[in-house]
Structure 1
């Protein structure tokens, strides 16, 4: 993860550095973290190249946490990408009901070259896969937001309860000490 100084020095980010490096975009708060998770998921699935920059720029108008948004984009990486392509293609085919029996032949396919037949197949599959990626991106962003929001509340609640137990224990010990 690049540091703020590295981002400030970046030639590509220099025009936007003052907006990206605002302190509220780098704080971990109850609202900024779930927003960052959602934007990172969305950018991770919808933007094939430059996901980190897309997530950082999307974080600006909605005041999401920039480091979280950038980090979550790594859900799609060179190791997991083949899995996501197959999943997106299958999901897109399922939703759009595209399969081997779907009529996609051109009227003049008998006159078409093998290259044209291959190209039409590729365009159909790319469209189905892109639609699947859009669905996965939107669903994962929504689920990621909810999980992060509930996870944040659980984590803060757990810390608060532990602090309360600690205070009670200190109070009990001081009462025992004063009583004896």
Structure 2
């Protein structure tokens, strides 16, 4: 059941192979293991995708794909999960990352107002930047670990339930 649910939301592998940002991987995308869906590939792909979803860098999809290829986990899942952080969810997720980093570093929370200027960005690197980056790494690691074991648990429960239903 978990496999069927996940497959319903996955994009076609030809669509992903021909995505303009993923073309840089060329023939590496032809490895069949990147497109196979099983418990190992799904849990690893969720971990990779969730990790890069919480890292505040551009081209998160490319980074997720770059790690999914050597780990040989499901590429479409790892690329799709990155979209948990989208323009609607980024502000609360990254603000929570900042708070986690401030707590981890023992810094008091600083109030700031976002300004879309280069000057504000440069100034924020020294004020809120360290807490934000540390918090992002902590949140990314925790999300990856929880995603890995959460998908593993859900997959095992789904297989067990299907197996019990067949024997009834």
2:143 maps to what in 1? 140
Structure 2: state its 5+ residue gaps: 1-9, 111-118
Is residue 78 from structure 1 mapped to residue 87 from structure 2 by the alignment?
Answer: yes
Larger RCO (CA within 8 A; separation ≥ 6)? 2
1:151 maps to what in 2? 154
State the Cα deviation string for residues 28-68 of structure 1 (Å, max 9, x = none). 11211100000000111125211112111110111111111
Alignment of 1:1-180 (within 5 A): 3-10=12-19, 12-99=21-108, 120=123, 122-165=125-168
* SS of equivalent residue, structure 1 residue 55: helix
Shift of 1:21: 3.0
* Contact 1:20 1:57 (C-alpha < 8 Å) held by counterparts: no
* Contact 1:39 1:55 (C-alpha < 8 Å) held by counterparts: yes
* Contact 1:40 1:71 (C-alpha < 8 Å) held by counterparts: yes
* SS of equivalent residue, structure 2 residue 39: coil
Shift of 1:100: 6.3
Paired residues, number: 150
Shift of 1:2: 5.4
Please provide the CA RMSD for this pair.
Answer: 2.4
- Give the structure-2-normalised TM-score: 0.79
State the Cα deviation string for residues 100-152 of structure 1 (Å, max 9, x = none). 69xxxxxxxxxxxxxx9x95555220121111111000011001101011111
* Contact 1:45 1:136 (C-alpha < 8 Å) held by counterparts: yes
Aligned equivalents of 2:89, 2:46: Cα separation in 1: 18
Aligned equivalents of 1:153, 1:100: Cα separation in 2: 41
Q: Which runs of 4+ in 1 moved over 4 A?
A: 118-122
Aligned equivalents of 2:24, 2:87: Cα separation in 1: 30
State the Cα deviation string for residues 72-123 of structure 1 (Å, max 9, x = none). 111111101000121011111111011169xxxxxxxxxxxxxx9x955552
- Give the structure-1-normalised TM-score: 0.74
